[in-house]
């Protein structure tokens, strides 16, 4: 099987996220493998539902980065040196863990992979992404036009290759390197000529209230819950995001999943 969707799970919270994602991928009717890269510390009870949904579990360790690198990217330090001013990261989010995404370049059984964050849902079939080139990603749009300069690393197309992986590690852990938005900042630097995907392949939840005119349920293929997670209890933006949170829970439980084309767009959509 030359194609796979890949996600990453380093703790039980993201395993919960992956459960909704894997179910959504299955429902999209994909013919590709679904791989969950997980670290050794994730409880087997948290992983079992993913296997039951048909995912292939692949254990992968965090990257062998230096102690100094790990120190610079440690949660409290990163939050102090590069504060998040637009939204909140949940307490179970460890920035250093993000870099383990790069392990997917070692999955060389696959000719192409589409990486998707564990906090996303695939709402319609996106298998055509496997014929897109490395490196393809959607822009990090959730506030303004200026967002189009940057990519969001929650969804991307890649070609596994050991040489690429080795080159990445060499560039990643250079003396004093500080990647303020972790893998996202790194991938943009490693692939300066990245190919842009339409925003609908990685629709960020804040678009719902910041740029409602961009929303169209008939076009959204991947919905990505960046910042606060839909399974967090009563987070500060929960009321504003209620319809999106309800949708996530439907996929998580596998009950009451609506026809996406018939959902109501936010007030202000055109």
Q: Which residues bind Mn ion (CB under 5 A)?
A: 117, 119, 154
- Specify burial of residue 182 (Cβ count, 10 A radius: 0-12, 13-18, 19+): buried
* CB nearer ligand UDP, residue 7 or residue 24: 7
Contact residues for 234 (Cβ-Cβ < 8 A; gap 6+): none
Of 5, 6, 14, 201, which lies in the binding site for ligand UDP, with binding defined by CB under 6 A? 14
Task: Confirm or reject binding of residue 194 to ligand UDP (CB under 6 A).
Answer: no
How many residues can be counted in the chain?
Answer: 270
* Residue 147 lies near ligand UDP (rule: CB under 6 A): no
DSSP state of 206: T
Find which of ligand UDP, Mn ion, none residue 8 binds, CB within 5 to 8 Å per kind.
Answer: ligand UDP
How many chain residues interact with ligand UDP (CB under 6 A)? 16
Interaction partner, residue 138 (Mn ion, ligand UDP, none; CB < 5-8 Å by kind): none
Contacts of 30 (CB under 8 A, 6+ apart): 5, 125, 126, 127
Binding-site member from 4, 6, 9, 247 for ligand UDP (CB under 6 A): 9
Cα-Cα-Cα-Cα dihedral sign, residues 205, 208, 211, 212? positive
Please report whether residue 226 would count as binding ligand UDP according to CB under 6 A.
Answer: yes
In the complex, the smallest distance separating the C-beta of residue 94 from ligand UDP, rounded to whole angstroms, is 4
**Cβ–Cβ under 8 Å, residues 119 and 229:** yes
* Residue 136 binds ligand UDP (CB under 6 A): no
- The beta strands (E) that lie in 108-257 are given as 112-116, 120-122, 136-139, 151-158, 195-196, 203-204, 222-224
By CB under 6 A, tell whether 78 contacts ligand UDP. Answer: no
**Closest CB to Mn ion among residues 33, 119:** 119
- Least separation in angstroms between residue 119's CB and Mn ion is 4
By a kind-dependent CB cut-off of 5 to 8 A, residue 93 interacts, out of Mn ion, ligand UDP, none, with: ligand UDP
d(CA 120, CA 207): 14
Rounded to 10°, the helix 162-172/182-190 angle is 110
- State the residues that interact with ligand UDP by CB under 6 A: 7-11, 14, 93-94, 97-98, 117-119, 154, 226-227
């Amino acid at each position: 099987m030359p194609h796979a969707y890949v996600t990453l799970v380093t703790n039980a919270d993201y395993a919960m996220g992956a459960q909704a994602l894997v179910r959504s991928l299955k429902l999209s009717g994909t013919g590709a493998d679904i791989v969950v890269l997980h670290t050794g510390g994730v409880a087997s009870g948290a992983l079992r539902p993913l296997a039951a949904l048909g995912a292939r579990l692949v254990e992968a360790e965090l990257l062998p980065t230096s102690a100094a690198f790990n120190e610079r990217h440690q949660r409290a330090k990163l939050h102090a040196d590069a504060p998040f001013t637009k939204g909140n990261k949940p307490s179970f989010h460890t920035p250093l863990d993000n870099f383990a995404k790069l392990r997917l370049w070692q999955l060389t059984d696959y000719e192409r992979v589409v990486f998707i964050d564990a906090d996303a849902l695939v709402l319609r079939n996106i298998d055509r992404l496997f014929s897109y080139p490395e490196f393809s990603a959607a822009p990090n749009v959730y506030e303004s036009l200026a967002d189009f300069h940057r990519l969001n690393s929650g969804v991307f197309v890649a070609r596994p290759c050991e040489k690429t992986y080795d080159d990445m590690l060499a560039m990643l852990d250079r003396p004093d390197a500080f990647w303020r938005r972790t893998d996202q900042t790194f991938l943009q630097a490693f692939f300066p000529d990245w190919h842009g995907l339409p925003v609908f392949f990685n629709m960020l939840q804040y678009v719902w209230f910041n740029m409602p005119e961009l929303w169209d349920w008939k076009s959204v293929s991947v919905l990505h819950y960046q910042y606060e997670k839909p399974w967090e209890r009563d987070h500060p933006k929960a009321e504003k995001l209620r319809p999106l949170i309800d949708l996530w829970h439907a996929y998580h439980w596998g009950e009451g999943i609506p026809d996406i084309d018939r959902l109501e767009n936010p007030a202000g959509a055109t």
